Amino acid sequence: MTHTPSAPDAVVPGSISAPVTPDELPALRRRVQAGLIATQILGGLGIAIGFALAAVLARDVSGTEALSGLASTASVAGSALLAMPLATLMTRRGRRAGLVLAYLLAAVGAGVVVLGAVLGNFPLLLAGLVGFGAGSSANLAARFAAADLAEPDRRARAISTVVWATTIGAVLGPNVAAPAGKSVSGLGVPAAAGPFVWAAGVFVLAAAVVAVLLQPDPLLTARALDAGAGEAPEGRSLRAGMDAVRKSPRARIALVTIAGTHTAMVSIMSMTPVALTHHGAGIQLVGLVISGHITGMYAFSPLMGWLSDRLGRLAVIGLAVGLIGTAALVAGTAGASHGRTALGLFILGLGWSAGLVSGSALLTDSVPQAARAAVQGLSDFVMNTAAGLGGLAAGLIVAKAGYGPLNAIAACLLLPMAALALRGALRKA
């Protein structure tokens, strides 16, 4: 039974926590946000530690640069494959159950990556990277958990605050890749696989933090407090999500924005370490460039959230198109200039932040409460599937044509996103 916000208390289905009253919501929002911030820091650290050298590790184990793009493809594919099962689990059991499971799967995946590197077994390495992608699934899902209890006019800022928290771990991660590599010397583990040893431990800690701090569950609480939410959709989350998106033109704009932004970013970013090493960059310089990129992705997300709430979601989607297009131009024409490449990657991060925050807020705005978890899972499935294909194509493009053409092709992915956003803005006007 669903209670109205004016009811004495709203019992959260599936929760063992004390009943939540509307008056207790501000404190509950702060508590849930604190738990999400802590896990985003840890999750960002785990992802960034491993991903900094994933393409290099794939190249070393496979023996060919053409397959180096499969590192990001496998990781993104893991995120895509898990998106809908996690959405189904969250719909039924809440955010907490889904996040704990995802972080534990990521830890297991990191361990398999290390085993594949030690054995020199490329298929096993890729299998581990698929599991490692669960860490990204968890971090992406956390942004929607932040929106569950937020007021509509502050929803983008709630999302952006949790996205911002990833900055701390994500920026630190690439810079500890070298120490992580050295830590496994003498153990028979390749230096490029050392970061995955550390990542496994970080993900286990993240799962523990979620299990302890994310109570009561924000999704179940929001559903209990929303008198008009209705029952969560039965059956497969994929079908429920598609049905909800089909009924909402603005949800379709949001879906294309999130997928296009993420695919362009992953395609360019995943091959930048390879391009840098072509021009003599070492591991430490690669780590600094990726750190700058990740700073752009996360550190300025509160600004993107504020702009999205004040100027509107569609305006910030337009900003994302401009930033990513500029980034592709700067990085794609950088050549041997490491500084120019770093600048392009930083701008690319800003564009990703603008697209993800505004698109995620628009998606949440555009569908009913009962269908949100399913639609959000569909969003992560689509964005990671598209980005996985983009990562695969990126390695082949760089091997055959070069890094510059890769950036030009990635920029073309912005066209559908720009057209839909402009059409939506004209309709609104």
DSSP letter assigned to residue 83 = H
Of 184-188, 198-202, 261-265, 309-313, give the lowest mean pLDDT range.
Answer: 184-188
pLDDT at 16: 39
pLDDT at 317 over 80: yes
pLDDT at 148: 87
d(CA 101, CA 148): 20
pLDDT at 205 over 90: yes
Mean pLDDT over residues 395-403, rounded?
Answer: 87
Residue type present at position 354: A
Mean pLDDT over residues 32-59, rounded?
Answer: 82
pLDDT at 328: 92
Mean pLDDT over residues 214-238, rounded?
Answer: 69
d(CA 197, CA 321): 37
pLDDT at 334: 84
In 127-264, which ranges are E strands? none
pLDDT at 8: 39
Mean pLDDT over residues 349-353, rounded?
Answer: 95
Cis peptide, bond prior to residue 216, ω within 30 of zero: yes
Of 179-183, 304-308, 350-354, give the lowest mean pLDDT range.
Answer: 179-183
Cα dihedral sign, 19-25-28-29: positive
- Model confidence at 128, pLDDT cuts 50, 70, 90, reads very high
pLDDT at 360 over 70: yes
Mean confidence (pLDDT) of the chain: 83
DSSP H stretches of helix in 3-119: 25-51, 54-62, 70-93, 95-119
pLDDT at 1 over 50: no
pLDDT at 228 over 60: no
DSSP H stretches of helix in 226-248: 237-246
Asked if residues 344 and 332 have their Cβ atoms less than 8 Å apart, the reply is: yes
CB atoms within 10 A of CB 234: 9
Q: Which of residues 87 and 253 earns the better pLDDT score?
A: 253
pLDDT at 227: 58
Cα dihedral sign, 176-178-181-186: negative
Of 230-234, 336-340, 361-365, 404-408, give the lowest mean pLDDT range.
Answer: 230-234
Which tokens hold the place of 147?
A: 């929106």
Q: Which of residues 277 and 105 earns the better pLDDT score?
A: 105
Mean pLDDT over residues 152-174, rounded?
Answer: 83
Asked if residues 158 and 35 have their Cβ atoms less than 8 Å apart, the reply is: no
- Model confidence at 12, pLDDT cuts 50, 70, 90, reads very low
pLDDT at 13 over 70: no
Question: What are the tens digits of pLDDT across the range 140-162?
Answer: 888 888 888 888 888 899 889 88
pLDDT at 64 over 90: no
d(CA 181, CA 189): 9
Q: How much of the chain exceeds pLDDT 70, in percent?
A: 92
Q: Look at residues 107, 142, 129, 141 and name the one whose alpha carbon lies nearest to residue 237.
A: 141
pLDDT at 232: 53
pLDDT at 5: 39
**59 vs 77, 173, 403, CA distance in Å?**
18, 20, 16
pTM listed for this prediction = 0.76
pLDDT at 207: 93
Cα dihedral sign, 191-197-203-206: negative
pLDDT at 9: 45
Beta-bridge mates of residue 10: 20
CB atoms within 10 A of CB 222: 22
Mean pLDDT over residues 400-416, rounded?
Answer: 89
- Model confidence at 351, pLDDT cuts 50, 70, 90, reads very high
